[in-house]
Amino acid sequence: MPPSPCALCSSRALIVRPKNHQKLCKSCFLSIFEEEIHHTITTNALFERGERVAIGASGGKDSTVLASVLKTLNERHNYGVDFVLLSIDEGIKGYRDDSLETVKRNAVQYGMELCIVGYDELYGWTMDQVVEQVGKKGNCTYCGVFRRQALDRGATRLGINHVVTGHNADDIAETVLMNLLRGDLPRLSRTTHIVTSSVSSPIKRSKPLKYAYEKEIVLYAHHKKLDYFSTECIYSPEAFRGSARALIKNLERVRPSAILDVVRSGEDMAKLVPEGVSDVQHCAGRNEATPAGGEEEGSGGCGSGGGRSSGGEMADMEGQLVENESAREREVEITSTITTSNGISAKEKNTTRRHQQQDARKTRKLPRQNMGQCVRCGYLSSQETCKACMLLESLNKSRPKTEIEVGLEDEEEDSSSLRRRMENVVLAGG
């Protein structure tokens, strides 16, 4: 069998594009991948000339490819944008410390400035300590809330108000399905927007890789011989995401365009979410969407554990739904006893009551968020204290109040084991 020629030039095809099974040679693949991202950037007018933009860099394939492509395109098409790398150090040994080394190398390779913001310096807790405290289940909430704020704070420190993240088409499609499964309409309306800026954050986020397939990102990184870090986060992924991810992968196998199609559906469905539920201004179109508690923004690095679902989260949700339902049934029982005791006129009462209930249900839409400042840290928040501070408070409550510990913090290596030893000493003494 003769080798297949490239569909665009006549040299030998080496790559079958995951997106549409087109056969391409290496250089055509690289250039078409770059041009598609250029297309995304220009049609959505993502950047302004002279802007300083931070690339949320984890050292993983997505953000490394993002940084590489943006550098290439910035030079080729003369965007006139100054790119800076911004990394978050969650403090996860054996994962983040290694990937940060990659980011440091990337900064040198691409000639970009690098800023690293650590959870420990911002919050006084590393993720390793949080996990030690709350266990492996549910720690992703902390990580997500913390990361979102940390990115904003890092950007502010750099004097930047635009962060680009490496979310790819697979991530978006996954989130669309996930939000359908857990019935989260407000988030459904937010996730698909390519640019998100919001009242709850002064920093604008955008996702230039929104239409890029994960597999193509891997191929690009491979053929460009990019230096990236490929270990997944060591803590467990969310069950819903795992379930949705497995489904997406299967859909892609059946019909490669499915990922893009889900993204498209998600965009269309975002327009169908009723006004009261979403806080998106529809007239403003896709360029001025507003995420509020956008946890999905921060989940870039985690949750990609390939269908390893524990199921615990889904079971929790199932339990809650069942509870809601039985509560609703109890409510109906009460109204019906009233009707029987009051005779015929009560029938009318009953119907008006129903209407009232329905009205109440209708008007019980999410209240518009009024943004203020967190009384503790001054971060923008819809509540008196921001979510991060509330999580911190619960963490700090259970932290032993020994003064000694602060002194030990410097020697991070042994701090936890030392602390435990100290506790033992106290116990023995008492």
Partner 1 sequence: MSFGVSSVALLHLLDNQLQGQIDRMNRTGYGLLVVHVNTPSAAPTGMHMEKLEERYPRHTYLSVDLTEVFNCPSRILEGLGEPESISAPSGLGSQDSNQDKLDRLLESLPSATSRMDILNILRTRLLVENAKKRGCEGIIWGDSTTRLAEKILAETAKGRGFSLPWQLSDGISPHGVAFKYPLRDLLKKELVTYASLTTPPLNQFIVSEQAPQAFTSKNTTIDNLVTNYFESVEENFPSIVANVVRTSGKLSARQSFGDGKRCGICEMPIAEGTGGLHGWGGGQEKMDLSSSHLCSDEKLCYGCARSSLRVTTSVRTGP
User: Where on the chain is the footprint of partner 1 (CB under 8 A)?
Assistant: 2, 4-5, 7-8, 13, 20-23, 32, 35-36, 39-40, 43-44, 176-177, 180-185, 194, 210-211, 243, 247, 250-251, 254-255, 257-258, 260-269, 271-274, 277, 282, 286, 311, 314-315, 317-318, 321-322, 325
Nearer to partner 1, 107 or 173 (CB): 173
Rounded to 5 degrees, φ, ψ at 95 are: -135, -70
Nearer to partner 1, 3 or 400 (CB): 3
Tokens of 131: 């996990």
**Shortest Cβ 6–partner 1 spacing (Å):** 9
Count of C-beta atoms within a 10 Å radius of residue 99? 24
**Shortest Cβ 93–partner 1 spacing (Å):** 35
Q: How far apart, in whole angstroms, are the C-alpha atoms of residue 174 and residue 170?
A: 6
| Pairing relationship of beta strands 52-56 and 82-89 according to DSSP bridges | parallel
**Shortest Cβ 145–partner 1 spacing (Å):** 24
**Shortest Cβ 287–partner 1 spacing (Å):** 10
Instruction: With CA atoms as reference, report the closest residue to 379 among 395, 366, 390.
Output: 390
3-state secondary structure of 74: helix
Nearer to partner 1, 76 or 399 (CB): 76
Nearer to partner 1, 29 or 142 (CB): 29
Nearer to partner 1, 96 or 190 (CB): 190
**Shortest Cβ 220–partner 1 spacing (Å):** 15
Residue that the structure tokens 């891997």 belong to = 218
Count of C-beta atoms within a 10 Å radius of residue 417? 9
Rounded to 5 degrees, φ, ψ at 72 are: -60, -50
DSSP string, 225-240: T-----PPPSSPPPHH
**Shortest Cβ 387–partner 1 spacing (Å):** 24
Nearer to partner 1, 27 or 265 (CB): 265
The sign of the torsion formed by the CA atoms of 29, 209, 221, 65 equals positive
Nearer to partner 1, 204 or 387 (CB): 204
DSSP string, 389-426: HHHHHHHHHTS---THHHHHTTSGGGHHHHHHHHHHHH
Q: How far apart, in whole angstroms, are the C-alpha atoms of residue 99 and residue 83?
A: 20
**Shortest Cβ 40–partner 1 spacing (Å):** 7
